[in-house]
Structure 1
Amino acid sequence: MPISAVVGANWGDEGKGKFTDLLAQHADFVVRFQGGSNAGHTIINEYGKFSLHLLPSGVFSPNTHNVLGPCVAVCIESLKKELQELERCAVPRPTLIISERAQLLFSYHKLFDILEEERRAGADFGSTRSGIAPFYSDMHSKIGVQLHELSDEAALRRHFELILPQKNILLRELYRHPGLEIDELLAEARVAREFLSPFLCDTRVLLGKALQQGKQVLVEGQLGTLRDIYHGIYPYSTSSSPLATFAPVGLGLPAREMKNVLAVTKAYSSCVGQGPFVVELDGAEAEELRRRGGDSGEYGATTGRPRRVGWFDAVATRYGVEVQGATEVALTNIDVLGYLDEIPVCVGYRNRKSGEELRHFPAQTEQGQMEPILVRLPGWKQDVSGVREFSKLPKEARDYVAFLEEELGVSITRISNGPRREQVIQR
């Protein structure tokens, strides 16, 4: 069977975890193909409420194999913590498989992340300080440590002898911080080796055989289109590519196998972190939307930071859907908007200086000059969280979905009207 993907159309925090959790019940493999523990997927099901940062969202389905691919930043501290949380909540121990080609996120990656954000104070990138940018910098500089290398301590020592002069010069001269010690890094590597060894395998071979046998493979992206390192709001992006088209590359699988792409977007806009956000609200209007948003308000699953919020941005979302190559769209949090008499939607951008109007998504420097062009649709002024059929939604809610669908040019096939797994309307 072909590969299916669940990815984000926007800035992240769209509700991807819920749909991966839902679709994982019918999948043989659920695979994370990029990113690390720097962003979370919030999932609510019969076991409780969870924020998964590194574990794939299929861990609640007992027959599913959960895979971390070669391009994932593996932080054993986060991995241990998440597995312990599952055990504490009586979730059956999941089948976890990790690519031997994935790389280890060391404590010094987090250290460099923290120190650089502090150095850039006032001009920082809004990093979660999880070590992601230094990790991927090392990966592409070819000085990272793949997990299969942990078994050769002599080679690891030679590796650290080569890279530490560079890192310690930065630490001591730029950041005025004590340098790293080889023996401490080797000890960290030993702990990782002991913990990770039972999970390691060649995931390319594993998943290739699974596809040949007609197994269901579901891949999930972390964050969303606008945080993509290549096509997002650079430099306020993550350091990897959360695009569905990157999944076959990241996993070493044929691109022709990627057939179904579900892009997830909210019924309004939200954003954690810095960078341009044309539809951003402020004041009481923003606080009201933030307070009502989601199960416990619009606050980051990893950072706890208040999310920036705004009305639905059809310009940014259309771009996100197109770049993801979406074959269908899932719309989340439609229940949140039930308090509004009118619901604004951004259908274009206007340049404040020139007056030029755009319907395409510009580069991030140009976005700072834009203001939203809004149309206002009638609200439905009622709670729709208990509705399970599209035809039973209020007409105004159905019209809202139809309007967004027309703007995006892709069918909205699923509508989430609450945080729980079962609160989904299938069209």
Structure 2
Amino acid sequence: MNGDIGDTARHMNKATVVLGTQWGDEGKGKIIDLLALKADVVCRAQGGNNAGHTIVVDGKPFYFHLLPSGLMSKSCKALIGNGCVIHLPSLFKEISTNEEKGLTWWKENLIVSDRAQLVFDFHQHVDGMQEDLKGNKKIGTTKKGIGPSYSTKVGRQGIRVGELIGDEDNFVERFHHLAEMYQTHYNGLSIDVDSELQRYREFREKIRPLVKDGVYFLHEMIHSPTPKTIMVEGANATMLDIDFGTYPFVTSSNCSVGGVCTGLGIPASAVGDVIGVVKAYTSRVGSGPFPTEQVNDIGNQLQEKGKEFGTTTGRRRRCGWLDLVMVKYAHMINGLSCIALTKLDILDDFDEIKIGVSYTHKGEKLPSFPATLDVLKEVEVEYLTMPGWKCSTVDCRTFEEMPQNAKNYIWKIQEIVGVKIKWIGVGQSRDSIVQAF
């Protein structure tokens, strides 16, 4: 084989992927915000407005659910890719809320893939109905209609953004069919079809200027003869992945690195570095097993100091010690190039800090994170206990300024996972990030 293929690959502008390694809420938006200052485009590949990222600029919080966080940079395009599902009323409400805070350049920078699927209000109603039917086995869905929308997509009944702005008669026919199907299957569900169609005639014109062929757009960026910085912002996190997460307590999309190719239409060869975001402790919203959870004063302290409430739902997050069995598993799946360790400052006041380093089940040490909840809910965690640093890291801006025990904690994480830690988050503000090593 000659060198032409290799030469072509070397000249690609590759995408850097930022994704969560736990159950979400790791602080991905802040890392993206830092890196997007030099990016040409930041993309969302999956999920909908069930995600939540917070970015604090000059003391002012900006909340992103479906919008890519890279939109905070005036020079950066923001693409909502084909793997996403979009509830247009929520999208435009999110835009309006952030526009009032100063995000006025979104019209020039936001791009919506014509292949992205639409979430309708009845998807949200059905989401709630399905959750209610589960009784005491609720998954903890955000009730944003994400699961039902992905279900209609997989069932080949869904409606894409491109169809909304395309032939109106076709859209009306498809909508009638979808609404009829849902009303037939769900007793008590009533859809005012005429009213909804009128709403979407208005949304059609609002969304039209933003819609592009996302696959072609990224193809041009990847193969541009001039250097382009492409970033992919993961929503949710690895342990919420539909295949690799704590199923069925997961989301409805692939939020590990494989979802980047299918959710944006880029080849695997165009994926470059994969940055794993790891919170310095563990949290999760909703139900499901949580081996290192601390249902005690430690968990309460982590929750209160870390302000652990869901950006999307406002629900209190469950908290516990850092689980490196989970992070190593995320590394196995995603092939992490480096780690961004966030919210280290939340551990500033602890006398001692524990790290979950292995699982034992019925006396046998497990080689990796188990696939079934039957095993996961019964595991015993082996902890490594380290001394705390008992002083603030909030004002640290270099690794050298870190307390020695904080450095030891960081080094130990890097040693166990086997991945270099490149950034350390020590506060909410935009500049509260320490470049490590």
Range class of TM-score, shorter chain = over 0.9
Cα deviation, residue 116, structure 1: 1.1
The one-character-per-residue Cα deviations of 1:98-133 (angstroms, maximum 9, x if unpaired) are 011111111111010011111222111100000000
Q: Which SS does the other structure have where 2:289 is aligned?
A: coil
Q: Which shows bigger deviation, 262-271 or 83-92?
A: 83-92
**Counterpart Cα distance in 1 of 2:35 and 2:83:** 23
CA distance in 2, matches of 1:165, 1:203: 31
Q: Give the unaligned 5+ runs of structure 1.
A: none
Output the CA distance in 2 between the equivalents of 1:312 and 1:164: 45
Is the counterpart of residue 348 in structure 1 residue 358 in structure 2?
Answer: yes
- Equivalent residues in 2 for 1:125-136, closer than 5 Å: 125-136=139-150
Match status 1:51 vs 2:63: yes
Is 2:57 the partner of 1:11?
no
Matched residue type, 2:356: C
Alpha-carbon RMSD: 1.3
1:278 equivalent among 291, 301, 305: 291
Q: How far has the Cα of 1:181 moved from its partner?
A: 4.0
Q: CA deviation at 1:63?
A: 0.5
Q: Secondary structure at the match of 2:333?
A: helix
Structural mapping, 1:17-416, within 5 Å = 17-46=29-58, 48-94=60-106, 95-150=109-164, 151-172=166-187, 177-213=188-224, 214-293=227-306, 297-351=307-361, 354-363=362-371, 364-416=373-425
Deviation at 1:359, TM superposition (A): 4.4
Letter in 1 for 2:325: V
Q: Deviations over 1:257-280 (max 9, x none)?
A: 101111001111111121111011
Classify the secondary structure of the residue corresponding to 2:137: coil
One-letter amino acid matched to 2:97? E
Check the 8 A contact 2:241/2:253 in 1, yes or no: yes
In structure 1, distance between residues paired with 2:301 and 2:265: 45
- Structure 1 residue matching 2:234: 3-state secondary structure: strand
Deviation readout 1:266-299 (Å, 9 max, x if unpaired): 1111111211110111122211111111xxx111
Query: Take 1:163 and 1:219, find their aligned partners in 2: how far apart are those partners?
Result: 32
Residues in 1 aligned to 2:42 and 2:238: alpha-carbon distance in whole angstroms: 20
Structure 1, residues 184-217: CA drift from partner, whole Å, max 9, x if none?
3322331321221110010111111111123111
Please tell me whether the aligned partners of residues 10 and 224 of structure 1 are also in contact (alpha carbons under 8 angstroms): yes
Deviation at 1:74, TM superposition (A): 1.0
Once the 2 structures are TM-superposed, how far is the Cα of residue 419 of structure 1 from its aligned partner?
A: 1.2
Aligned mates of 1:162, 1:50 — CA distance in 2: 38
**Aligned partners of 2:238, 2:101: CA distance in 1, in Å?**
33
The code of the aligned residue for 1:356 comes to E
> In structure 2, the residue corresponding to 1:237 is in which secondary structure?
coil
Any gaps of 5 or more consecutive residues in structure 2? 1-12
Q: Give the distance between the partners of 1:260 and 1:30, measured in 2 at CA.
A: 14
CA distance, structure 1, for counterparts of residue 282 and residue 430 of structure 2: 21
Report the secondary structure of 1:92's partner residue: coil
CA distance in structure 1 between the partners assigned to 2:160 and 2:139 by the alignment: 27
| Conservation of the 8 A alpha-carbon contact between 1:133 and 1:239 | yes
TM-score, scaled relative to structure 1: 0.95
Contact 2:33 2:55 in 1 (8 A): yes
What is the letter of the counterpart of residue 153 of structure 2? M
Cα deviation for residue 153 of structure 1 reads 2.3
Distance 2:189 2:338 in 1: 51
Name the aligned partner's letter for residue 155 of structure 1. Answer: N
With over 3 angstroms needed to count, the CA separation of the structure-2 counterparts of 1:261 and 1:40, relative to structure 1, is same
Note if contact 2:45-2:82 (Cα within 8 Å) is conserved in structure 1: yes
Separation in 2 of the partners of 1:32 and 1:48? Answer: 23
| Deviating more after overlay: 387-396 vs 147-156 | 147-156
Instruction: Could you list the structure 1 runs, at least 4 aligned residues long, displaced by more than 3 angstroms after superposition.
Output: 160-165
1:421 matched to 2:436? The reply is no
Retained in 2: the 8 A contact 1:157–1:182? Answer: no
